[in-house]
Structure 1
Amino acid sequence: MRRTLVELFFLALGLLAGFALSWACAWSYPVGADIIWTCGGLAMLATMLMGVGPLRRAWRADRAGA
């Protein structure tokens, strides 16, 4: 369970960083806020999709070790 929790932690940290960066950029440039939030949302989606493989491997490793 430990490996899975570590992967979930880093996935959540990446999503939080993407949100914080998108928020800061949209705040500093309100004219382009719609585009910034769209790109930020797509980047967060890509972060989630890229995290599926490592999360699945961590889950299998935790199950094999238990």
Structure 2
Amino acid sequence: MARTTVEMLHIAAGLVAATAMTWAAAWAYPLGYEVIWWCGAAAMVATVLMGVGPLRRARAIDRRRG
């Protein structure tokens, strides 16, 4: 369970970081607000998709160890 939890925390941290950077960029450049948020949303989806493989491996290891 520990490895799975760590992987979930990594994904959550990535989403928090992507949201913060997107918000800061949109705040700093209001003319590009909509485009910046679309790019930020794509980064958030990519963060989740890249975390799926490690999360599945961590879950399998945790299941084997009991």
TM range (shorter): over 0.9
Structure 1 runs, 4 residues or longer, greater than 2 Å off? none
Determine the C-alpha separation between the residues in 1 that align with 2:21 and 2:43: 11
TM-score normalized by the length of structure 2: 0.99
The AA in structure 2 aligned to 1:24 is: A
5+ residue gaps, structure 2? none
* Superposed displacement of residue 2, structure 1: 0.2
Which residue is equivalent to 2:46?
A: 46
**Cα RMSD, aligned residues only:** 0.3
Tell me the alpha carbon deviations over residues 6-28 of structure 1, each in whole angstroms, 9 at most, x when there is no partner.
00001000000000000000001
Note if 1:60 corresponds to 2:64. Answer: no
| Mapped partners of 1:4, 1:29: distance in 2 | 38
Paired residues in the alignment total: 66
Query: Once the two structures are superposed, what CA deviation does each residue of 1:11-56 show, in whole Å capped at 9, x if it has no partner?
Result: 0000000000000000010000000000000011001001000000
Q: Which residue number in structure 1 is paired with residue 12 of structure 2? A: 12
Q: Where in structure 1 are there 5+ consecutive unaligned residues?
A: none
Aligned partners of 2:58, 2:8: CA distance in 1, in Å?
10
Alignment-mate amino acid for residue 22 of structure 2:
S
Q: TM-score, normalised by structure 1?
A: 0.99
Distance in 1, Cα, partners of 2:18 & 2:8:
15
Distance in 2 of aligned mates of 1:25 and 1:51: 24
